[in-house]
């Protein structure tokens, strides 16, 4: 049995006319315009919706970084209006920008990376997909069949994958049968030196328990030798390829956000990112730490089952970027 994918149909049009059974247009209620005051009001009421520790951390951050917070709320309001998304999820409002994405970066850079991520998402992704993510829902992007098992690829806000500092969105691979978590990759959309859209990978998180590690080994065999970690890197390559780029970007060990934490927490970082990037042909360069040229050139022309399986993950990434106005034809 060959590895194949079932990817939801791309929605090229953000707004479609709807009709009821008699053929007459349905009256669609207008979306209430979102202002920065609306976002601020929701932010100020967040203390009633969060547990004490989270509410205290959010309130302290708001007091220490008031200008950054208000600037972020203004962006959320503008983005919501532009793309007709409604109020953002609470976890977007309380995004921890001062610790976002890269160690030893300026606050201005962090704000830019986060805003640019969503601006590019709004340009390249289908409005319906963006709406699901904006409201905190999980977006299924592909179903992959191995030799015996089915696997689900999904996209969420990084905040909902336990990786809120590592990116804006997180791609996760699960085994369908028992929802066994295999691997996740967090990233932001960005542009390369030529202005082409690519992704910057903020981190990987994999299975930690012995049973979970066993599931990863089983999944690798079932996916014709494609490791879950490599599979998600291929999805990232597919996204960047659809954006017109020739490489993806990635953070190095020294620039990973876990370096904000105390030494005991840093020791829990299981993955040696520098080693993995180097093994995958990456070179130390750029603001984030590494540049990884595509290793997938010519894969669609091959017929070996392992290469076909790689192509499945590449196509899942490409398809994610084909729904917006900025998509390449």
Higher pLDDT, 329 or 13: 329
Asked whether the predicted pLDDT for residue 36 surpasses 70, the reply is: no
pLDDT in tens, 42-72: 777 776 777 878 888 878 888 889 999 999 9
**What pLDDT was estimated at residue 130?**
95
Longest dimension (CA), the chain: 66
Q: pTM value? A: 0.85
**CA 190/CA 244 separation, integer angstroms:** 12
pLDDT in tens, 152-187: 999 999 999 989 999 999 999 999 999 999 999 999
**CA 59/CA 64 separation, integer angstroms:** 9
What is the residue extent of each domain of the chain?
Answer: 36-124, 127-320
- What end-to-end distance do the CA atoms of the chain give, in Å? 32
**What pLDDT was estimated at residue 71?**
94
Banded pLDDT at 26 (limits 50, 70, 90): very low
3-state secondary structure at position 167: coil
Asked whether the predicted pLDDT for residue 245 surpasses 70, the reply is: yes
The per-residue pLDDT of the chain, averaged, comes to 85
**In terms of Cα–Cα distance, which of 126, 100, 123 is closest to 112?**
100
């Amino acid at each position: 049995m060959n590895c194949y994918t079932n990817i939801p149909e791309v929605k090229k049009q953000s707004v479609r006319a709807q009709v009821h059974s008699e053929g007459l247009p349905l009256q669609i209620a207008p979306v209430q315009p979102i202002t920065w005051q609306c976002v601020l009001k929701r932010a100020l009421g967040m203390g009633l919706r969060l547990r004490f520790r989270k509410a205290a951390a959010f309130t302290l951050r708001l007091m220490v970084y008031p200008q950054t917070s208000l600037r972020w709320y203004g962006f959320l309001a503008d983005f919501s209006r532009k793309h007709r998304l409604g109020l953002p999820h609470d976890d977007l409002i309380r995004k921890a920008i001062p610790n976002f994405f890269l160690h030893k970066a300026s606050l201005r850079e962090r704000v830019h990376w986060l805003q640019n991520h969503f601006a590019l998402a709004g340009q390249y992704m289908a409005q319906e997909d963006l709406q699901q993510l904006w409201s905190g829902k999980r977006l299924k992007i592909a179903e992959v069949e191995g030799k015996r098992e089915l696997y689900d690829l999904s996209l969420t806000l990084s905040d909902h994958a336990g990786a809120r500092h590592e990116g804006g969105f997180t791609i996760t691979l699960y085994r369908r049968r028992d929802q066994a978590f295999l691997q996740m990759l967090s990233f932001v959309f960005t542009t390369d030196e030529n202005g082409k859209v690519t992704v910057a990978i903020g981190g990987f998180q994999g299975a930690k328990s012995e049973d979970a590690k066993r599931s990863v080994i089983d999944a690798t065999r079932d996916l014709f030798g494609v490791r879950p970690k490599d599979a998600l890197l291929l999805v990232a390559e597919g996204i960047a390829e659809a954006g017109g780029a020739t490489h993806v970007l990635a953070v190095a060990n020294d620039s990973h956000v876990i370096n904000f934490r105390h030494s005991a927490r840093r020791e829990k970082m299981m993955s040696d990112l520098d080693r993995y990037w180097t093994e995958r042909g990456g070179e130390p360069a750029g603001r984030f730490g590494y540049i990884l040229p595509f290793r997938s050139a010519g894969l669609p022309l091959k017929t070996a089952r392992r290469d076909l399986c790689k192509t499945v993950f590449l196509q899942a990434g490409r398809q994610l970027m084909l729904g917006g106005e900025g998509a390449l034809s």
